[in-house]
Amino acid sequence: MTQPVNTAAPDAAWLGDSLLTWSQSIRNGYIRAFVIFALHETGVFETLRRRGAMTSAELAEACGVNAHLLDGVLHFLLHADVVLAKDDGRFRLTKRGAEWLFADSVLAMSFGAVGAYASILHELVPCLRNQKRYGVDFVRPGDLLAKGSYYTGKGNYDWIVAELKRLGVARVADLGCGLGDVLVGFCRLDARLEGVGIDIASGALQAAAERVRDEDLAHRIMLVQGDVTRPESFAAATANVDAFHGLMVFHEFLRDGEQALVEIFERMKALFPGRYLIVGEFDRLSDAEFQAMPLAERIHPLFYQHVIHPLTWQGLPMEKERWLRLFGRAGLTLLKVEDRFRFRLVEYVLRF
């Protein structure tokens, strides 16, 4: 018999402890999620941060957006949140707004959970009715996904670059490189490192190329279109790399089952024997672990594990022990595991 789940409601106050507060906190959270994302994406918050207090008309002019609509959502946020204030008709960020809106966790949520994944909730009704399916009828926007992933993963970069140095890696291939932020971040941390970025999405690669040019790193970072599920597609471009790296990328292929991922690693081992592989992946939680966490801390991993993953047909993410078994099945040698990162990310250092 399994344990009953959620018999107590220790955090009811956080959710609202009356019908009014509970129901209106849902409305408020839903609206703020979209408004905060939109004001980041259109540069409104950044403009307020840089230029200080401005009227909605001045802000609209500066950001190239519609003044009437902007005025509406700014007033909503003014009264429904703690991030904005208004003096003499001019909006400004509060102290909390200036700090909280630009926190990595909030940027990851805005660009990733809202920007990239709003569609899975918007399309939930037809998907539940089997009238639509993620991947067939709609997909997440790749540029926003990569932007959100950057804010989720960047806290790991120092540790990974230290590992690459320790292993004597001079050239690393980043698989599923997205907008190139991982390689740009790594190259900034280690002035002699070079990188090859591989991604399947041409839009992401184009944006990555611009980013690499802007950062003046085109002589150190090469970008190539390739498919991680077909290592032959990037074998030539990565012929002289010492290590491969994939952050929040490999779990995507579990949608084809664990064996499919084992076979990808086996093919890589055959093509790149002796090279290093660094994998960063989310560590799945059990029901009991979720229940033991304060409610506010549960939401991010819950969304990732039980909303994003099933609704995009990626299957359930795996826990650390299962990743270790999978690497073993593919014949990879485990050199190190580190799990002290945010967002329950675990880094595995392996060798083909």
Ligand X SMILES: C[S@@+](CC[C@H](N)C(=O)[O-])C[C@H]1O[C@@H](n2cnc3c(N)ncnc32)[C@H](O)[C@@H]1O
Enumerate binding residues for ligand X (CB under 6 A): 142, 145-146, 149-150, 153, 176, 178, 181-182, 198-201, 204, 227-229, 247-249, 252
Rg of the chain taking only CA atoms, in angstroms: 22
| Residue with smaller CB distance to ligand X, 25 or 202 | 202
Write out 264-284 in H/E/C secondary structure. HHHHHHHHCCCCEEEEEEECC
Shortest separation between residue 263's beta carbon and ligand X, angstroms: 14
**Integer Cα distance of 165 and 175 in angstroms:** 19
What are 222's two structure tokens?
Answer: 């090469």
Shortest separation between residue 93's beta carbon and ligand X, angstroms: 27
Shortest separation between residue 106's beta carbon and ligand X, angstroms: 17
| Residue with smaller CB distance to ligand X, 16 or 155 | 155
- Total residues found in the chain within this entry: 352
Shortest separation between residue 238's beta carbon and ligand X, angstroms: 12
Output the CA torsion sign for 299, 302, 304, 307: negative
| Residue with smaller CB distance to ligand X, 49 or 255 | 255
**Integer Cα distance of 249 and 237 in angstroms:** 19
| Residue with smaller CB distance to ligand X, 56 or 149 | 149
Shortest separation between residue 284's beta carbon and ligand X, angstroms: 16
Shortest separation between residue 252's beta carbon and ligand X, angstroms: 5
CA 186 remoteness from chain centre: 17
| Residue with smaller CB distance to ligand X, 54 or 223 | 223
Residue 94 Rama label (left phi>0; alpha psi -120 to 50; beta): beta
| Residue with smaller CB distance to ligand X, 81 or 199 | 199
What's the angle, vertex CA 117, arms to CA 306 and CA 24, rounded to 5?
80
* DSSP annotation of 168: T
Shortest separation between residue 8's beta carbon and ligand X, angstroms: 35
Shortest separation between residue 233's beta carbon and ligand X, angstroms: 8
**Of residues 309, 228, 235, the one with CA closest to residue 263:** 228
Helix (H, G, I), strand (E, B) or coil at 177: coil
| Residue with smaller CB distance to ligand X, 115 or 153 | 153
| Residue with smaller CB distance to ligand X, 38 or 173 | 173
**Integer Cα distance of 69 and 65 in angstroms:** 8
Shortest separation between residue 198's beta carbon and ligand X, angstroms: 6
Helix (H, G, I), strand (E, B) or coil at 65: coil
| Residue with smaller CB distance to ligand X, 35 or 248 | 248
